[in-house]
Amino acid sequence: MINIALAGNPNCGKTTVFNMLTGAEEYVGNRAGVTVEKKEKILKGRKDVVVTDLPGIYSLSPYTAEEVITREHLLSGRSQVILNVADATKLQRSLYLTLQLMDMGLPLVLGLNMADAAEKQGVVIDTEKLGRILGVPVVKMSAVKGIGLDEAVEKAVYAAGKKAAPPKAFSAGTERAILNIENMLKGQAEKTRWYAAALFQRDERVYENLSLKQDIKDQIEAVIRKRERECGDSADSIIISERYDIAEKAAEQCVLKTKKESSLSEKIDRIVTGKFTALPVFAVVMAAVYFLSAGPVGSMLSEFFEDTVINGVITQPLRELLIYVDCADWLVGLVIDGIMGGVGTVVGFLPQLALLFVMLSLLEECGYMARVAFIMDRFFRAFGLSGKSFIPMLIATGCGVPAVMSSRTVDNESQRRMTIITATFMPCGAKLPVISMIAGTFFGGAWWVAVLAYFTGAAAVLISGLILKGLKIFRDNDAPFVMELPDYHLPKGNIVFRTVKERCVSFVKRAGTVILPASCVVWILLNVGWSAGGFAFVREPADSVLRNLGELLAAGFQPLGFGSWQAAVASVLGLLAKEELVGVFGVLGDAGEIFRDSLSAFSFMMFNLLCMPCVAAMSAIRKEMNSFWWTGFALLYQTVFAYGTALCIYQTGIFVRTGNITVGTITAMLTFATAVILILYSYKKSKNEKIKKTLLTKERKRV
Ligand code: GDP
Ligand code: MG
């Protein structure tokens, strides 16, 4: 029985080949990631040959489920030969994988699929030369037209069980290192070259599988370190770039392009992702998105919606109705101030968000979003995040709930979690009233307060990235970034509509369901208290249970400069919705009196901008993290970060003013030092671990 494994990049036509060969009817689609499991079936017309369709992969590193499935299948020895299906129109990228497959020590036949499409594009490949360079048989095929498949299978069957072609060598020094490791493994594993190369790249899965003795591990590490020192680069970076060089050279030597016209998408991309034009274009697009959604236009829309629609059409008539039917005062208060106040303000964001969603969905549909991730990746990567983290951050300037939900597009798990944890540091729409209140009351309405707030938010994201990326729980955050840049096309109205509708509905659901009970609880806490006669409704917030709670918390806020119960209660109410922070001061007392001075007001603002977000966003975090511990970690981290920041701000201010060094000053200094140490630790760790080369393959999706 001969088993032929079909391996290749996503969307190169493996399943089409599989269906043609076996008569199966597996799902074929023009996008990456259609086949996520392997499938086996007997070759049509031959009972002794089985074909296995493997999921599409770009490399054999263990970063995605597809990669793991494929490599485990190939290592298991189930298949005796690989039919490497390659997209002839994207030869270089395909060869990068071919080189890795060749290291597995199985005989390999390279099938250049899509030969028909390549021909149309004017791509001519010298298969014979390519075969000579690689040392494997190369066959041109077209799965849809049924050309070349028989020949490829025949060659594969012939090669099965024979000796594999010698793999392409790395540079002399790297080869020596790998050979060194190979010798240490003698007798431990078959396919030693593949294992040695994987160990050289510090492939954790292979380390686990082989369960090597500690002294061998140490020896291997010494070999790796030595080579890293020689190259001044990390081990996997060395392997990746050397493989790329080989693939690039081979492709250059064998591909002849006869036509040289570029598509419209390529022309647009020359500007949009161009070296000097990318950032200006990006800045203009983002400024437009911001101006329309979070900025002036969006807030006008939201104000109108909240005042006229929610207040005018729902809340006011409802209040009159409740009074008309003679409801008890407390019930009117609970329904109107408690429930409608809480739910209304959150839902009031809807128009603004809808506008943001429309724009994001337009950008996504037309193909620009993929470019954004591409442009931003280099920058964000330095902070342990992904290029795709940019979009959640942008959405977070509107609202944290959809921002957290949109973190789903970040595919690396660690980067996704870090995106969730840091997104709500960005000042959302609800935080703007807080900023303008503090700016207005204490800083004469100075414009720089708001700028500083945004700046601090962004800095908090990046600094947190630096702190967190070294922690063990976030270490796998540098998976190579491979993404396809789809062709630009005009957005389709119904797709945009559907996305926007779905996002709006899930926002209302998410925000609405938690905000309702939370509003009730807080309203009750604010309106009941111990009085002379016992536990009862109270008129003044100063007599309420919430005040007692605030007093408990206030002591903790003392070092931050706002240790009054009012400020503490305001912070708690801010958890319902951040703009509650503003309304609350009307009820609890004048902001000018509650804070000692502008410094403590500023510290209060910073703490509340950065600390754990409102309950709606918390619940989104819970949903996306899908884990109690991760949610707890996120909220705790945010709050500790906010506390530390406010502490440093306030204590620095006090020191500058008085010149006295107190316990507070020292604590602030220690906090600052801790942050710096954490960053340095992370820096060292991640440098040692991996400095992975970003594999940016600007490949176009075939249409
Ligand atoms: P897989 O992801 O590698 O399994 O790829 P699929 O088999 O799902 O095919 C991806 C897309 O490429 C589909 O739209 C196929 O119709 C198309 N396709 C597959 N083989 C060929 C080919 O030889 N020529 C052309 N022009 N298109 C092909
Ligand atoms: Mg497939």
Do residues 289 and 359 lie in contact, with contact meaning Cβ atoms separated by under 8 Å? yes
Ligand nearest to the CA of 90: 1
Q: Output DSSP code: residue 407.
A: G
Rounded to the nearest angstrom, the distance between the alpha carbon of 149 and the centre of ligand 1 is 14
Q: Which ligand is nearest to the CA of 32?
A: 1
For residue 169, what are the contacts with CB-CB under 8 A and spacing of at least 6?
Answer: 175
Read off φ and ψ for residue 304, nearest 5 degrees: -60, -45
**Beta carbons within 10 angstroms of residue 39's beta carbon:** 16
Q: Which residues contact 405 (CB under 8 A, 6 or more apart)?
A: 503, 506, 507, 510, 620, 623, 624
Asked if 581 and 574 count as a contact pair (C-beta separation under 8 A), the reply is: yes
Q: Which atom of ligand 1 is nearest to the CA of 30?
A: 14
Q: pLDDT confidence of 258, banded at 50, 70, 90?
A: low
Nearest to residue 53, comparing CAs of 106, 12, 94, 90? 12
Q: Taking ligand 2, which is a single-atom ion, which protein residues have CB atoms under 5 Å away?
A: 15, 34-35
- With a 6 Å cutoff on the Cβ, whether 13 touches ligand 1 is yes
What whole-number distance in Å separates Cα of residue 500 and Cα of residue 485?
A: 23
AA letter at 507:
F
What is the pLDDT at residue 681?
86
State how far the Cα of 236 lies from the Cα of 227, in Å rounded to an integer: 11
Please write down the long-range contacts of 18-22, taking CB distance under 8 Å and 24 or more positions apart.
Answer: 18/51, 18/53, 20/143, 20/146, 20/149, 21/51, 21/149, 21/153, 22/51
* Contact assessment for residue 462 and residue 421, using Cβ atoms and an 8 Å cutoff: no
Whose CA is closest to atom 27 on ligand 1?
114
19 lines ligand 1 (CB under 6 A): no
Q: Is the CB of 11 under 6 A from ligand 1?
A: yes
Confidence of residue 424 (pLDDT cuts 50, 70, 90): very high
Give tens-digit pLDDT for 278-328.
889 888 988 888 777 766 787 788 888 888 888 888 888 999 999 899 888
Q: Tell whether ligand 1 has an atom less than 6 A from the beta carbon of residue 55.
A: no
CB distance 363 to 391 below 8 Å: no
What are the tens digits of pLDDT across the range 593-645? 788 889 999 999 999 999 999 988 999 999 999 999 999 999 999 999 999 99
| Tokens describing residue 229 | 């020192």
Which residues are bridge partners to 700 per DSSP?
485
The residue contributing the CA closest to ligand 1 atom 9 is 13
**Minimal CA–CA distance to 538: which of 315, 401, 333?**
333
Mean pLDDT for the chain? 84
What pLDDT, on the 0 to 100 scale, is given for residue 262?
Answer: 64
What is the Å distance from ligand 1's center to 42 Cα? 21
Write out the E strands in 63-137: 81-87, 108-113, 123-125
Number of Cβ atoms within 10 Å of the Cβ of 388: 27
Number of CB atoms found within 10 A of residue 638's CB: 22
User: Does position 530 have pLDDT exceeding 70, yes or no?
Assistant: yes
When computed from its CA atoms, the radius of gyration of the chain, rounded to whole angstroms, is 30
What would the pLDDT profile of 205-227 be if each residue is shown by its tens digit? 888 888 888 999 999 999 999 99
Among residues 425, 453, 422, 423, the alpha carbon closest in space to that of 437 is found at 453
**Between 484 and 337, the higher pLDDT residue:** 337
Q: Yes or no: say if 70 and 101 are a contact pair by the CB < 8 Å rule.
A: no
Of 340, 296, 302, 342, whose CA–CA distance to 319 is shortest?
340
For the chain, domains (ranges, CATH) are 2-159 (3.40.50.300), 172-257 (1.10.287.1770), 281-509 (no CATH)
Q: What are the residues facing 108 on neighbouring strands?
A: 82
Least confident range of 105-119, 254-268, 329-343, 419-433: 254-268
The one-letter code for the residue type at 485 is L
- Kindly report the pTM of this predicted structure: 0.60
Q: 301: Cβ below 6 Å to ligand 1?
A: no
Nearest Cα to Cα of residue 67 among 33, 105, 17? 33
What's the gap between Cα 356 and its chain centre? 19
The ligand with the least distance to the CA atom of 113 is: 1
Q: Is 477 helix (H, G, I), strand (E, B) or coil?
A: coil
Token digits of residue 461? 């994201």
Q: Which helix (H) or strand (E) holds 42?
A: strand 39-42
pLDDT of residue 149: 94
Determine the pLDDT at residue 158: 93
* pLDDT over threshold 80, residue 690: no
The average pLDDT across 122-144 equals 92
Ligand 1 site, residue 28, Cβ cutoff 6 A: yes
Amino acid (1-letter code) at residue 680: L
Contact 58, 94 (CB under 8 A): no
3 state SS of 52: strand
Characterize the bridge pairing of strands 138-140 and 108-113: parallel
Q: What percent of the chain has pLDDT over 70?
A: 92
User: From the CA of 7, which ligand is nearest?
Assistant: 1
Separation in Å, CA 277 to CA 273, 326, 448, 520: 7, 66, 29, 52
pLDDT band at 696 (very low <50, low <70, confident <90, very high): very low
pLDDT of residue 445 exceeding 60, the answer is yes
Measured CA to CA, the distance from residue 412 to residue 378 in angstroms comes to 15
Round to whole Å and give the CA distance between 657 and 648: 14
Backbone torsions φ then ψ of 112, nearest 5 degrees: -85, 95
Helices 598-610 and 448-468: crossing angle in degrees, nearest 10, is: 50
Ligand 1 lined by 33 (C-beta under 6 Å): no
Q: Write the pLDDT tens digit of every residue in 144-173.
A: 888 999 999 999 999 998 888 888 889 999
- Maximum separation of any 2 CA atoms in the chain, in Å: 98
Q: Is 84 in the pocket of ligand 1 (CB under 6 A)?
A: no
**Dihedral of the alpha carbons of 193, 130, 18, 7, in degrees to the nearest 10:** 30
Mutate to test the pocket of ligand 1, among 14, 15, 16, 142 (most ligand atoms within 8 A of CB): 16
Rounded Cα–Cα distance for residues 681 and 456 (Å): 23
* Choice from 11, 27, 139, 145 to test ligand 1 binding pocket (greatest atom count within 8 A of CB): 11
- 462 in Cβ contact with 389 (< 8 Å): no
Q: How many CA atoms lie within 13 A of 669 on its CB side?
A: 8
**Is residue 104 within 8 Å of residue 74, measured between CB atoms?**
yes
Would you say the CB of residue 116 lies under 6 angstroms from ligand 1? yes
Ligand 1 atom at minimal distance to the Cα of residue 85: 3
CA–CA distance, 627 with 253 (Å, rounded to integer): 52
Q: Contact at 8 Å (CB) between 434 and 472?
A: no
384 CB under 6 A from ligand 1?
no
CA distance 689 to 232: 14
Residue 248 CB: number of other CB atoms within 10 A?
A: 13
Q: DSSP code of 8?
A: -
Q: Which atom of ligand 1 is nearest to the CA of 145?
A: 23
Other beta carbons less than 10 A from residue 695's beta carbon = 18
Q: Which atom of ligand 1 is nearest to the CA of 115?
A: 23
Q: Is the CB of 14 under 6 A from ligand 1?
A: yes
CA nearest neighbour of 467 among 233, 633, 692: 633
